[in-house]
Structure 1
Amino acid sequence: MELRQLKYFIKAKELLNFTEAAKILNISQSTLSQQIKQLEDELDVLLFNRIGKRIILTEAGEMFSEYAQQSINRANEGLLLLKDLNDLNTGKITIGVIYSMRIPFAKALIQFAKQYPGVKVQVVFGTTKDLLEKLDLHHFDFILTFLDEKSKQPHLKYQTLLKSNMVLVTAKKSALASKKSISLKEVATLPLALPFSGYSTIQFFVESFRQKKLHPNICMEINDIPTLFEVVKTGYWHTILSETSVNDPQVLGVPIQGKNMRRTIMIVSLKDAYEKRAVKEFYEVLTRIQIQ
Protein backbone atom coordinates (compact mmCIF):
# COMPACT_ATOMS: atom_id res chain seq x y z
CA MET A 1 0.00 0.00 0.00
CA GLU A 2 1.49 3.32 -1.07
CA LEU A 3 0.77 6.83 0.13
CA ARG A 4 0.17 7.84 -3.49
CA GLN A 5 -2.62 5.27 -3.76
CA LEU A 6 -4.26 6.61 -0.62
CA LYS A 7 -4.18 10.15 -2.05
CA TYR A 8 -5.75 8.90 -5.29
CA PHE A 9 -8.44 7.07 -3.32
CA ILE A 10 -9.29 10.12 -1.19
CA LYS A 11 -9.59 12.39 -4.23
CA ALA A 12 -11.84 9.87 -6.00
CA LYS A 13 -13.95 9.64 -2.82
CA GLU A 14 -14.33 13.43 -2.70
CA LEU A 15 -15.44 13.78 -6.32
CA LEU A 16 -17.04 10.35 -6.95
CA ASN A 17 -15.73 10.65 -10.49
CA PHE A 18 -12.52 9.04 -11.74
CA THR A 19 -12.24 11.40 -14.72
CA GLU A 20 -12.49 14.58 -12.61
CA ALA A 21 -10.20 13.16 -9.92
CA ALA A 22 -7.57 12.24 -12.50
CA LYS A 23 -7.65 15.77 -13.96
CA ILE A 24 -7.06 17.36 -10.56
CA LEU A 25 -4.30 14.86 -9.76
CA ASN A 26 -2.74 15.54 -13.18
CA ILE A 27 -2.66 11.86 -14.15
CA SER A 28 -4.53 9.80 -16.72
CA GLN A 29 -7.84 8.18 -15.82
CA SER A 30 -6.40 4.77 -16.64
CA THR A 31 -3.54 5.34 -14.17
CA LEU A 32 -5.98 6.37 -11.45
CA SER A 33 -8.27 3.39 -12.08
CA GLN A 34 -5.29 1.02 -12.11
CA GLN A 35 -3.85 2.34 -8.85
CA ILE A 36 -7.19 2.12 -7.05
CA LYS A 37 -7.72 -1.40 -8.41
CA GLN A 38 -4.30 -2.38 -7.06
CA LEU A 39 -5.24 -0.91 -3.69
CA GLU A 40 -8.51 -2.87 -3.69
CA ASP A 41 -6.64 -6.07 -4.60
CA GLU A 42 -4.19 -5.54 -1.75
CA LEU A 43 -7.01 -4.87 0.70
CA ASP A 44 -9.07 -7.69 -0.81
CA VAL A 45 -12.20 -5.52 -0.75
CA LEU A 46 -14.06 -3.22 -3.13
CA LEU A 47 -13.77 0.44 -2.22
CA PHE A 48 -16.06 1.66 -5.02
CA ASN A 49 -19.03 0.21 -6.85
CA ARG A 50 -18.69 0.94 -10.59
CA ILE A 51 -22.04 1.64 -12.22
CA GLY A 52 -21.44 2.56 -15.83
CA LYS A 53 -19.42 5.81 -15.70
CA ARG A 54 -20.52 6.47 -12.12
CA ILE A 55 -18.75 5.34 -8.97
CA ILE A 56 -20.28 4.96 -5.51
CA LEU A 57 -18.33 4.45 -2.31
CA THR A 58 -18.93 1.07 -0.68
CA GLU A 59 -19.44 0.63 3.05
CA ALA A 60 -15.87 -0.69 3.26
CA GLY A 61 -14.66 2.33 1.30
CA GLU A 62 -16.39 4.71 3.70
CA MET A 63 -14.85 2.99 6.71
CA PHE A 64 -11.38 2.85 5.14
CA SER A 65 -11.42 6.52 4.06
CA GLU A 66 -11.09 7.82 7.61
CA TYR A 67 -7.88 5.83 8.16
CA ALA A 68 -6.56 6.72 4.71
CA GLN A 69 -7.03 10.43 5.44
CA GLN A 70 -5.31 10.05 8.81
CA SER A 71 -2.33 8.37 7.13
CA ILE A 72 -2.05 11.20 4.60
CA ASN A 73 -2.32 13.83 7.33
CA ARG A 74 0.35 12.17 9.46
CA ALA A 75 2.70 11.89 6.50
CA ASN A 76 2.19 15.57 5.69
CA GLU A 77 2.85 16.52 9.31
CA GLY A 78 6.09 14.52 9.24
CA LEU A 79 7.16 16.44 6.14
CA LEU A 80 6.33 19.72 7.86
CA LEU A 81 8.38 18.67 10.88
CA LEU A 82 11.44 18.09 8.67
CA LYS A 83 10.95 21.38 6.84
CA ASP A 84 10.66 23.17 10.16
CA LEU A 85 14.21 22.09 11.02
CA ASN A 86 15.24 24.89 8.67
CA ASP A 87 14.81 28.58 9.47
CA LEU A 88 11.73 30.65 8.64
CA ASN A 89 12.87 31.66 5.17
CA THR A 90 10.40 29.43 3.35
CA GLY A 91 7.08 27.69 3.88
CA LYS A 92 3.40 28.45 3.82
CA ILE A 93 0.65 28.88 6.40
CA THR A 94 -3.08 29.00 5.74
CA ILE A 95 -5.40 30.90 8.07
CA GLY A 96 -9.19 31.17 8.28
CA VAL A 97 -10.59 34.41 9.68
CA ILE A 98 -14.10 35.61 10.49
CA TYR A 99 -15.05 38.86 8.77
CA SER A 100 -15.27 40.90 11.97
CA MET A 101 -11.58 40.23 12.71
CA ARG A 102 -10.32 41.60 9.40
CA ILE A 103 -9.02 44.92 10.82
CA PRO A 104 -6.87 43.63 13.74
CA PHE A 105 -5.88 40.62 11.65
CA ALA A 106 -4.64 42.83 8.80
CA LYS A 107 -2.31 44.62 11.23
CA ALA A 108 -0.84 41.31 12.37
CA LEU A 109 -0.54 40.04 8.80
CA ILE A 110 1.41 43.12 7.68
CA GLN A 111 3.77 42.88 10.64
CA PHE A 112 4.35 39.15 10.17
CA ALA A 113 4.97 39.53 6.42
CA LYS A 114 7.56 42.23 7.04
CA GLN A 115 9.29 40.11 9.66
CA TYR A 116 9.19 36.84 7.65
CA PRO A 117 8.99 37.79 3.94
CA GLY A 118 9.91 34.27 2.84
CA VAL A 119 6.82 32.66 4.39
CA LYS A 120 3.76 32.64 2.16
CA VAL A 121 0.49 33.35 3.96
CA GLN A 122 -2.86 32.35 2.51
CA VAL A 123 -5.90 33.94 4.18
CA VAL A 124 -9.53 32.88 3.75
CA PHE A 125 -12.39 34.89 5.25
CA GLY A 126 -15.61 33.11 6.11
CA THR A 127 -18.28 32.35 8.67
CA THR A 128 -17.49 30.42 11.83
CA LYS A 129 -19.38 27.36 10.59
CA ASP A 130 -17.53 27.25 7.26
CA LEU A 131 -14.13 27.85 8.84
CA LEU A 132 -14.59 25.10 11.44
CA GLU A 133 -15.65 22.61 8.77
CA LYS A 134 -12.57 23.39 6.68
CA LEU A 135 -10.31 23.25 9.74
CA ASP A 136 -11.56 19.71 10.39
CA LEU A 137 -10.51 18.84 6.83
CA HIS A 138 -6.98 20.20 7.51
CA HIS A 139 -7.49 23.12 5.11
CA PHE A 140 -6.19 25.60 7.72
CA ASP A 141 -3.31 25.75 10.16
CA PHE A 142 -5.61 27.71 12.46
CA ILE A 143 -8.67 29.94 12.43
CA LEU A 144 -9.74 33.09 14.28
CA THR A 145 -13.36 33.15 15.40
CA PHE A 146 -15.86 33.92 18.16
CA LEU A 147 -16.54 30.94 20.40
CA ASP A 148 -18.03 30.31 23.83
CA GLU A 149 -17.34 27.50 26.28
CA LYS A 150 -20.34 25.38 25.29
CA SER A 151 -19.22 25.35 21.65
CA LYS A 152 -15.81 23.82 22.35
CA GLN A 153 -14.98 20.41 20.84
CA PRO A 154 -12.48 17.92 22.32
CA HIS A 155 -10.40 17.48 19.14
CA LEU A 156 -9.66 21.21 18.88
CA LYS A 157 -7.20 23.44 20.75
CA TYR A 158 -8.37 26.89 21.88
CA GLN A 159 -6.32 29.98 22.77
CA THR A 160 -8.04 33.17 23.87
CA LEU A 161 -6.89 36.11 21.76
CA LEU A 162 -9.10 39.00 22.85
CA LYS A 163 -12.53 39.99 24.09
CA SER A 164 -14.69 42.31 22.03
CA ASN A 165 -17.82 44.29 22.89
CA MET A 166 -20.91 43.93 20.74
CA VAL A 167 -22.09 47.33 19.49
CA LEU A 168 -24.96 48.90 17.61
CA VAL A 169 -23.36 50.48 14.54
CA THR A 170 -25.07 53.72 13.56
CA ALA A 171 -24.31 56.77 11.40
CA LYS A 172 -22.46 59.61 13.13
CA LYS A 173 -25.28 61.89 12.02
CA SER A 174 -27.87 59.63 13.70
CA ALA A 175 -29.68 60.74 16.86
CA LEU A 176 -28.37 57.55 18.50
CA ALA A 177 -24.73 58.56 18.01
CA SER A 178 -24.67 60.56 21.25
CA LYS A 179 -25.77 57.62 23.41
CA LYS A 180 -23.21 56.09 25.78
CA SER A 181 -24.93 52.70 25.57
CA ILE A 182 -28.18 51.15 24.40
CA SER A 183 -30.41 48.32 25.67
CA LEU A 184 -31.17 45.21 23.65
CA LYS A 185 -34.87 46.07 23.98
CA GLU A 186 -34.31 49.42 22.26
CA VAL A 187 -32.16 47.79 19.58
CA ALA A 188 -35.05 45.43 18.75
CA THR A 189 -37.26 48.40 17.83
CA LEU A 190 -34.81 49.85 15.31
CA PRO A 191 -34.70 49.06 11.55
CA LEU A 192 -31.76 46.69 11.29
CA ALA A 193 -29.51 45.59 8.42
CA LEU A 194 -27.63 42.54 9.66
CA PRO A 195 -25.06 40.01 8.42
CA PHE A 196 -26.38 36.75 6.97
CA SER A 197 -27.72 34.14 9.37
CA GLY A 198 -24.56 32.05 8.84
CA TYR A 199 -22.46 34.64 10.65
CA SER A 200 -21.77 33.94 14.34
CA THR A 201 -22.63 37.53 15.31
CA ILE A 202 -26.19 37.35 13.99
CA GLN A 203 -26.66 33.86 15.46
CA PHE A 204 -25.53 35.23 18.82
CA PHE A 205 -28.01 38.10 18.68
CA VAL A 206 -30.93 36.03 17.43
CA GLU A 207 -30.44 33.85 20.50
CA SER A 208 -30.06 36.93 22.75
CA PHE A 209 -33.32 38.41 21.38
CA ARG A 210 -35.09 35.06 21.78
CA GLN A 211 -34.05 34.70 25.42
CA LYS A 212 -35.54 38.12 26.21
CA LYS A 213 -38.64 37.37 24.06
CA LEU A 214 -37.83 40.29 21.76
CA HIS A 215 -38.70 40.44 18.06
CA PRO A 216 -36.12 42.54 16.20
CA ASN A 217 -37.02 44.55 13.11
CA ILE A 218 -34.60 42.96 10.62
CA CYS A 219 -35.08 44.72 7.28
CA MET A 220 -32.03 43.41 5.41
CA GLU A 221 -29.41 40.66 5.53
CA ILE A 222 -26.13 41.43 3.76
CA ASN A 223 -23.04 39.21 3.61
CA ASP A 224 -20.56 42.08 3.17
CA ILE A 225 -19.58 44.40 6.01
CA PRO A 226 -18.49 47.39 3.85
CA THR A 227 -21.94 47.27 2.20
CA LEU A 228 -23.56 47.18 5.63
CA PHE A 229 -21.64 50.35 6.48
CA GLU A 230 -22.89 52.04 3.31
CA VAL A 231 -26.46 51.24 4.32
CA VAL A 232 -25.88 52.43 7.90
CA LYS A 233 -24.35 55.72 6.71
CA THR A 234 -27.76 56.77 5.36
CA GLY A 235 -28.97 57.14 8.92
CA TYR A 236 -32.12 55.07 8.24
CA TRP A 237 -30.78 51.66 9.25
CA HIS A 238 -28.42 50.29 11.88
CA THR A 239 -26.44 47.08 12.26
CA ILE A 240 -24.93 44.98 15.03
CA LEU A 241 -21.28 43.96 14.93
CA SER A 242 -18.23 43.41 17.07
CA GLU A 243 -16.41 46.65 17.90
CA THR A 244 -13.35 45.19 16.13
CA SER A 245 -15.26 45.56 12.84
CA VAL A 246 -15.97 49.28 13.09
CA ASN A 247 -13.41 51.35 11.19
CA ASP A 248 -15.45 53.56 8.86
CA PRO A 249 -15.11 57.27 9.80
CA GLN A 250 -18.80 57.93 9.08
CA VAL A 251 -20.15 55.37 11.55
CA LEU A 252 -19.62 54.54 15.20
CA GLY A 253 -20.45 51.77 17.63
CA VAL A 254 -22.75 52.25 20.62
CA PRO A 255 -22.09 49.56 23.28
CA ILE A 256 -25.06 47.25 23.88
CA GLN A 257 -25.95 46.82 27.54
CA GLY A 258 -25.76 43.40 29.17
CA LYS A 259 -23.12 41.23 30.83
CA ASN A 260 -23.17 38.79 27.90
CA MET A 261 -22.46 41.46 25.29
CA ARG A 262 -18.72 40.89 25.42
CA ARG A 263 -17.57 37.97 23.30
CA THR A 264 -14.31 36.02 23.13
CA ILE A 265 -12.26 35.73 19.95
CA MET A 266 -10.14 32.59 19.94
CA ILE A 267 -7.33 31.02 17.98
CA VAL A 268 -8.59 27.53 17.10
CA SER A 269 -6.44 24.70 15.73
CA LEU A 270 -6.47 20.91 15.50
CA LYS A 271 -5.21 19.47 18.77
CA ASP A 272 -3.27 16.56 17.28
CA ALA A 273 -1.87 18.33 14.20
CA TYR A 274 1.77 19.35 14.00
CA GLU A 275 2.16 23.08 14.69
CA LYS A 276 4.62 24.79 12.35
CA ARG A 277 7.18 27.24 13.65
CA ALA A 278 5.73 29.90 11.36
CA VAL A 279 2.30 29.38 12.93
CA LYS A 280 3.73 29.83 16.43
CA GLU A 281 5.43 33.03 15.30
CA PHE A 282 2.14 34.29 13.86
CA TYR A 283 0.48 33.63 17.23
CA GLU A 284 3.14 35.79 18.86
CA VAL A 285 2.53 38.62 16.39
CA LEU A 286 -1.24 38.42 16.94
CA THR A 287 -0.79 38.58 20.70
CA ARG A 288 1.55 41.58 20.48
CA ILE A 289 -0.89 43.44 18.24
CA GLN A 290 -3.74 42.96 20.73
CA ILE A 291 -1.82 44.23 23.76
CA GLN A 292 -0.50 47.36 22.07
Structure 2
Amino acid sequence: MELRQLRYFLKAKELLNFTEAAKALHISQSTLSQQIKQLEEELNVPLFNRVGKRITLTEAGNLFSDYALQSISRANEGLMLLQDLKNLNTGKITIGVIYSMRIMFARQLIRFAAQYPNIKIQVVFGTTKDLLEQLNMHRFDFILTFNEECSESHLKYQTVLQSNMVLVTARKSALAQKAGISLAEVAGLPLALPFNGYSTIQFIEESFSEKNLNPNICMEINDIPTLFEMVKTGNWHTILSDTSVNDPEVTAVPIEGKNMRRTIMIISLRHAYEKKAVKKFCEMLTSA
Protein backbone atom coordinates (compact mmCIF):
# COMPACT_ATOMS: atom_id res chain seq x y z
CA MET A 1 0.00 0.00 0.00
CA GLU A 2 1.45 3.32 -1.08
CA LEU A 3 0.61 6.88 -0.08
CA ARG A 4 0.12 7.64 -3.76
CA GLN A 5 -2.65 5.03 -3.96
CA LEU A 6 -4.33 6.49 -0.88
CA ARG A 7 -4.26 9.97 -2.45
CA TYR A 8 -5.78 8.59 -5.66
CA PHE A 9 -8.49 6.80 -3.66
CA LEU A 10 -9.38 9.91 -1.65
CA LYS A 11 -9.64 12.09 -4.75
CA ALA A 12 -11.90 9.52 -6.43
CA LYS A 13 -14.02 9.39 -3.26
CA GLU A 14 -14.27 13.19 -3.27
CA LEU A 15 -15.34 13.53 -6.92
CA LEU A 16 -17.02 10.12 -7.41
CA ASN A 17 -15.78 10.15 -10.97
CA PHE A 18 -12.59 8.48 -12.17
CA THR A 19 -12.25 10.80 -15.17
CA GLU A 20 -12.55 13.98 -13.11
CA ALA A 21 -10.31 12.58 -10.38
CA ALA A 22 -7.62 11.68 -12.92
CA LYS A 23 -7.74 15.22 -14.37
CA ALA A 24 -7.42 16.75 -10.90
CA LEU A 25 -4.43 14.52 -10.16
CA HIS A 26 -2.83 15.20 -13.59
CA ILE A 27 -2.65 11.51 -14.46
CA SER A 28 -4.42 9.35 -17.01
CA GLN A 29 -7.70 7.67 -16.15
CA SER A 30 -6.17 4.26 -16.85
CA THR A 31 -3.37 4.93 -14.35
CA LEU A 32 -5.89 5.96 -11.70
CA SER A 33 -8.09 2.93 -12.33
CA GLN A 34 -5.10 0.59 -12.25
CA GLN A 35 -3.75 1.99 -8.96
CA ILE A 36 -7.13 1.81 -7.23
CA LYS A 37 -7.60 -1.74 -8.54
CA GLN A 38 -4.22 -2.71 -7.07
CA LEU A 39 -5.23 -1.16 -3.74
CA GLU A 40 -8.49 -3.12 -3.72
CA GLU A 41 -6.63 -6.35 -4.52
CA GLU A 42 -4.21 -5.73 -1.65
CA LEU A 43 -7.09 -5.01 0.74
CA ASN A 44 -9.04 -7.92 -0.74
CA VAL A 45 -12.24 -5.87 -0.79
CA PRO A 46 -13.85 -3.51 -3.35
CA LEU A 47 -13.78 0.17 -2.38
CA PHE A 48 -16.10 1.41 -5.15
CA ASN A 49 -19.25 0.17 -6.80
CA ARG A 50 -18.83 0.62 -10.55
CA VAL A 51 -22.07 1.09 -12.46
CA GLY A 52 -21.30 2.17 -15.99
CA LYS A 53 -19.34 5.43 -15.76
CA ARG A 54 -20.72 6.13 -12.27
CA ILE A 55 -18.98 5.10 -9.09
CA THR A 56 -20.15 5.01 -5.49
CA LEU A 57 -18.37 4.06 -2.31
CA THR A 58 -18.90 0.62 -0.90
CA GLU A 59 -19.39 0.21 2.84
CA ALA A 60 -15.75 -0.90 3.04
CA GLY A 61 -14.65 2.13 1.02
CA ASN A 62 -16.51 4.47 3.34
CA LEU A 63 -14.91 2.92 6.43
CA PHE A 64 -11.46 2.81 4.87
CA SER A 65 -11.54 6.47 3.81
CA ASP A 66 -11.14 7.68 7.41
CA TYR A 67 -7.98 5.61 7.85
CA ALA A 68 -6.64 6.67 4.46
CA LEU A 69 -7.15 10.31 5.39
CA GLN A 70 -5.39 9.77 8.74
CA SER A 71 -2.46 8.12 6.96
CA ILE A 72 -2.10 11.00 4.52
CA SER A 73 -2.37 13.55 7.35
CA ARG A 74 0.26 11.77 9.45
CA ALA A 75 2.58 11.53 6.47
CA ASN A 76 2.20 15.26 5.83
CA GLU A 77 2.85 15.99 9.51
CA GLY A 78 5.99 13.84 9.31
CA LEU A 79 7.13 15.79 6.25
CA MET A 80 6.59 19.08 8.08
CA LEU A 81 8.49 17.72 11.09
CA LEU A 82 11.45 16.84 8.88
CA GLN A 83 11.31 20.31 7.36
CA ASP A 84 11.32 21.77 10.87
CA LEU A 85 14.35 19.65 11.74
CA LYS A 86 16.08 20.88 8.62
CA ASN A 87 15.25 24.48 9.51
CA LEU A 88 16.20 24.01 13.20
CA ASN A 89 12.65 24.62 14.42
CA THR A 90 12.54 21.42 16.44
CA GLY A 91 14.70 18.49 17.52
CA LYS A 92 16.94 17.39 20.36
CA ILE A 93 20.68 17.06 20.80
CA THR A 94 22.54 15.31 23.62
CA ILE A 95 26.06 16.42 24.52
CA GLY A 96 28.66 15.04 26.91
CA VAL A 97 31.13 17.53 28.41
CA ILE A 98 34.08 17.08 30.76
CA TYR A 99 33.85 19.12 33.96
CA SER A 100 36.78 21.40 33.19
CA MET A 101 35.11 22.59 29.98
CA ARG A 102 31.93 23.77 31.67
CA ILE A 103 32.77 27.50 31.59
CA MET A 104 33.77 27.67 27.95
CA PHE A 105 30.93 25.34 26.97
CA ALA A 106 28.32 27.32 28.93
CA ARG A 107 29.10 30.47 26.95
CA GLN A 108 28.49 28.67 23.65
CA LEU A 109 25.44 26.89 25.03
CA ILE A 110 23.86 30.25 25.88
CA ARG A 111 24.59 31.53 22.36
CA PHE A 112 23.18 28.44 20.67
CA ALA A 113 20.05 28.27 22.83
CA ALA A 114 19.33 31.96 22.21
CA GLN A 115 19.71 31.50 18.45
CA TYR A 116 17.76 28.22 18.22
CA PRO A 117 15.24 28.29 21.11
CA ASN A 118 13.16 25.39 19.78
CA ILE A 119 15.99 22.87 19.95
CA LYS A 120 15.91 20.79 23.12
CA ILE A 121 19.40 20.32 24.57
CA GLN A 122 20.50 17.71 27.09
CA VAL A 123 23.97 18.15 28.63
CA VAL A 124 25.73 15.50 30.71
CA PHE A 125 28.99 16.23 32.54
CA GLY A 126 31.44 13.43 33.22
CA THR A 127 34.98 12.15 32.91
CA THR A 128 36.55 11.55 29.51
CA LYS A 129 36.51 7.80 30.09
CA ASP A 130 32.81 7.72 30.99
CA LEU A 131 31.80 10.06 28.18
CA LEU A 132 33.69 8.03 25.55
CA GLU A 133 32.03 4.84 26.75
CA GLN A 134 28.58 6.43 26.46
CA LEU A 135 29.39 7.94 23.07
CA ASN A 136 30.27 4.46 21.79
CA MET A 137 26.86 3.32 23.02
CA HIS A 138 25.23 6.06 20.88
CA ARG A 139 24.01 8.01 23.93
CA PHE A 140 25.52 11.31 22.76
CA ASP A 141 25.50 13.23 19.52
CA PHE A 142 29.01 14.37 20.44
CA ILE A 143 31.27 14.93 23.43
CA LEU A 144 33.61 17.79 24.28
CA THR A 145 36.82 16.66 25.94
CA PHE A 146 40.61 16.63 25.93
CA ASN A 147 42.19 14.33 23.38
CA GLU A 148 45.66 14.38 21.92
CA GLU A 149 45.74 10.97 20.25
CA CYS A 150 42.89 10.86 17.66
CA SER A 151 43.63 7.16 17.26
CA GLU A 152 40.19 5.53 17.03
CA SER A 153 39.18 5.09 13.38
CA HIS A 154 35.44 4.91 14.16
CA LEU A 155 35.52 8.35 15.79
CA LYS A 156 35.49 11.78 14.19
CA TYR A 157 37.68 14.48 15.78
CA GLN A 158 37.35 18.26 15.47
CA THR A 159 39.81 20.55 17.24
CA VAL A 160 38.20 23.34 19.26
CA LEU A 161 41.23 25.03 20.87
CA GLN A 162 44.50 24.57 22.72
CA SER A 163 44.41 24.88 26.50
CA ASN A 164 47.32 25.59 28.86
CA MET A 165 47.81 23.64 32.07
CA VAL A 166 48.07 26.00 35.02
CA LEU A 167 48.75 25.92 38.72
CA VAL A 168 45.64 27.24 40.47
CA THR A 169 46.54 29.04 43.69
CA ALA A 170 44.82 31.43 46.08
CA ARG A 171 44.93 35.06 45.00
CA LYS A 172 46.42 35.90 48.41
CA SER A 173 49.25 33.38 47.86
CA ALA A 174 52.79 34.61 47.09
CA LEU A 175 52.75 32.28 44.07
CA ALA A 176 49.93 34.34 42.53
CA GLN A 177 52.46 36.99 41.49
CA LYS A 178 54.55 34.59 39.40
CA ALA A 179 54.44 34.83 35.60
CA GLY A 180 55.16 31.11 35.32
CA ILE A 181 56.17 28.10 37.38
CA SER A 182 58.18 24.97 36.59
CA LEU A 183 56.80 21.48 37.02
CA ALA A 184 59.59 20.78 39.52
CA GLU A 185 58.37 23.67 41.69
CA VAL A 186 54.79 22.44 41.42
CA ALA A 187 55.84 18.95 42.57
CA GLY A 188 57.01 20.37 45.89
CA LEU A 189 53.70 22.04 46.69
CA PRO A 190 50.80 20.48 48.63
CA LEU A 191 48.36 19.54 45.87
CA ALA A 192 44.64 18.79 45.74
CA LEU A 193 43.99 17.26 42.33
CA PRO A 194 41.07 15.96 40.28
CA PHE A 195 40.02 12.42 41.07
CA ASN A 196 41.51 9.36 39.38
CA GLY A 197 39.61 8.70 36.14
CA TYR A 198 39.77 12.27 34.92
CA SER A 199 41.95 12.77 31.85
CA THR A 200 43.54 15.76 33.63
CA ILE A 201 44.98 13.68 36.47
CA GLN A 202 46.29 11.13 33.99
CA PHE A 203 47.97 13.90 32.02
CA ILE A 204 49.46 15.40 35.20
CA GLU A 205 50.79 12.07 36.45
CA GLU A 206 52.40 11.31 33.09
CA SER A 207 53.99 14.79 33.00
CA PHE A 208 55.53 14.30 36.45
CA SER A 209 56.67 10.78 35.57
CA GLU A 210 58.46 11.94 32.41
CA LYS A 211 60.59 14.25 34.57
CA ASN A 212 61.04 11.69 37.38
CA LEU A 213 59.17 13.93 39.81
CA ASN A 214 57.15 12.75 42.81
CA PRO A 215 54.41 15.31 43.43
CA ASN A 216 53.02 15.94 46.89
CA ILE A 217 49.40 14.92 46.23
CA CYS A 218 47.51 15.42 49.48
CA MET A 219 44.00 14.73 48.22
CA GLU A 220 41.95 13.89 45.13
CA ILE A 221 38.49 15.42 44.65
CA ASN A 222 36.01 14.76 41.85
CA ASP A 223 34.47 18.23 41.94
CA ILE A 224 36.19 21.35 40.62
CA PRO A 225 34.24 23.90 42.75
CA THR A 226 35.33 21.94 45.84
CA LEU A 227 38.92 22.01 44.60
CA PHE A 228 38.63 25.79 44.35
CA GLU A 229 37.37 25.97 47.93
CA MET A 230 40.44 24.04 49.10
CA VAL A 231 42.74 26.29 47.05
CA LYS A 232 41.18 29.48 48.45
CA THR A 233 42.42 28.56 51.94
CA GLY A 234 45.99 29.03 50.71
CA ASN A 235 46.97 25.65 52.14
CA TRP A 236 46.67 23.68 48.89
CA HIS A 237 47.03 24.21 45.17
CA THR A 238 45.64 22.37 42.18
CA ILE A 239 46.43 21.85 38.50
CA LEU A 240 43.77 22.39 35.85
CA SER A 241 43.41 23.71 32.32
CA ASP A 242 43.11 27.47 32.05
CA THR A 243 39.62 27.05 30.53
CA SER A 244 38.25 25.90 33.88
CA VAL A 245 39.43 28.84 36.01
CA ASN A 246 37.00 31.71 36.55
CA ASP A 247 36.83 32.18 40.32
CA PRO A 248 37.93 35.69 41.40
CA GLU A 249 39.54 34.34 44.57
CA VAL A 250 42.05 32.14 42.75
CA THR A 251 44.77 32.80 40.20
CA ALA A 252 46.05 30.65 37.33
CA VAL A 253 49.84 30.52 36.98
CA PRO A 254 51.04 28.98 33.68
CA ILE A 255 53.13 25.83 34.10
CA GLU A 256 56.28 26.16 32.00
CA GLY A 257 57.14 23.64 29.31
CA LYS A 258 56.14 22.97 25.71
CA ASN A 259 54.19 19.87 26.73
CA MET A 260 51.90 21.77 29.07
CA ARG A 261 49.28 22.40 26.39
CA ARG A 262 46.31 20.17 25.74
CA THR A 263 43.91 19.88 22.83
CA ILE A 264 40.19 20.30 23.40
CA MET A 265 38.19 18.36 20.84
CA ILE A 266 34.69 17.57 19.68
CA ILE A 267 34.43 13.80 19.31
CA SER A 268 31.55 12.05 17.55
CA LEU A 269 30.85 8.73 15.87
CA ARG A 270 32.24 8.92 12.35
CA HIS A 271 29.45 7.09 10.54
CA ALA A 272 26.51 8.32 12.60
CA TYR A 273 24.00 10.68 11.00
CA GLU A 274 24.89 14.26 11.87
CA LYS A 275 21.84 16.34 12.70
CA LYS A 276 21.80 19.86 11.36
CA ALA A 277 21.50 21.21 14.92
CA VAL A 278 24.61 19.26 15.91
CA LYS A 279 26.50 20.62 12.92
CA LYS A 280 25.53 24.18 13.85
CA PHE A 281 26.55 23.72 17.48
CA CYS A 282 29.92 22.26 16.45
CA GLU A 283 30.51 25.14 14.04
CA MET A 284 29.80 27.55 16.90
CA LEU A 285 32.28 25.76 19.16
CA THR A 286 35.07 25.60 16.59
CA SER A 287 34.68 29.22 15.51
CA ALA A 288 34.60 30.64 19.04
The alpha carbon displacement at 1:285 in A equals 1.8
The alpha carbon displacement at 1:86 in A equals 3.8
Structure 2 distance, partners of 1:84, 1:275, is 16
Structure 1 distance, partners of 2:256, 2:94, is 36
Please name the residue that 2:243 is paired with.
244
Instruction: Please state if 1:133 is matched with 2:133.
Output: yes
Please name the residue that 1:93 is paired with.
93
State the TM-score, normalized to the length of structure 2.
Answer: 0.70
Please name the residue that 1:158 is paired with.
157
Please name the residue that 2:172 is paired with.
173
Q: Is the 8 A contact 2:85 2:91 kept in 1?
A: no
Structure 2 distance, partners of 1:189, 1:83, is 60
Alignment of 1:59-208 (within 5 A): 82=82, 86-149=86-149, 152-208=151-207
How big is the alpha-carbon RMSD for the aligned residues of Structure 1 and Structure 2?
1.5
Structure 2 distance, partners of 1:136, 1:206, is 26
The alpha carbon displacement at 1:141 in A equals 0.2
3-state SS in 1 of match to 2:109: helix
Please name the residue that 2:220 is paired with.
221
Q: Deviations over 1:74-128 (max 9, x none)?
A: xxxxx9x957764211100000001111001000001101111100000000000
Structure 2 distance, partners of 1:226, 1:83, is 42
Structure 2 distance, partners of 1:128, 1:163, is 17
Which one has a bigger Cα radius of gyration? 2
Which 4+ stretches in 1 moved above 2 angstroms? 81-86
Structure 1 distance, partners of 2:107, 2:82, is 30
Structure 1 unaligned blocks of 5 or more: 1-78
3-state SS in 1 of match to 2:95: strand
| Counterpart residue identity of residue 164, structure 1 | S
Structure 2 unaligned blocks of 5 or more: 1-78
Instruction: Please state if 1:282 is matched with 2:267.
Output: no
Q: Is the 8 A contact 2:85 2:276 kept in 1?
A: no
Give the aligned length.
209
Q: Is the 8 A contact 1:84 1:277 kept in 2?
A: no
The alpha carbon displacement at 1:222 in A equals 0.5
Q: Deviations over 1:22-78 (max 9, x none)?
A: xxxxxxxxxxxxxxxxxxxxxxxxxxxxxxxxxxxxxxxxxxxxxxxxxxxxxxxxx
Structure 2 distance, partners of 1:84, 1:196, is 43
Q: Deviations over 1:144-195 (max 9, x none)?
A: 000112x520100000000000000000100101111000011000000000
Structure 2 distance, partners of 1:233, 1:162, is 28
Percent identity of paired positions between Structure 1 and Structure 2: 75
Q: Is the 8 A contact 1:135 1:269 kept in 2?
A: yes
Distance 1:216 1:271, change over 3 A: same
| Counterpart residue identity of residue 248, structure 1 | D
Distance 1:276 1:215, change over 3 A: same
Structure 1 distance, partners of 2:129, 2:151, is 13
Structure 1 distance, partners of 2:161, 2:282, is 12
| Counterpart residue identity of residue 174, structure 1 | S
3-state SS in 2 of match to 1:267: strand
Q: Is the 8 A contact 2:165 2:242 kept in 1?
A: yes
State the TM-score, normalized to the length of structure 1.
Answer: 0.69
Distance 1:283 1:228, change over 3 A: same
Q: Is the 8 A contact 1:89 1:118 kept in 2?
A: yes
3-state SS in 2 of match to 1:164: strand
Q: Is the 8 A contact 1:190 1:238 kept in 2?
A: yes
Q: Is the 8 A contact 1:84 1:276 kept in 2?
A: no
Please name the residue that 2:229 is paired with.
230
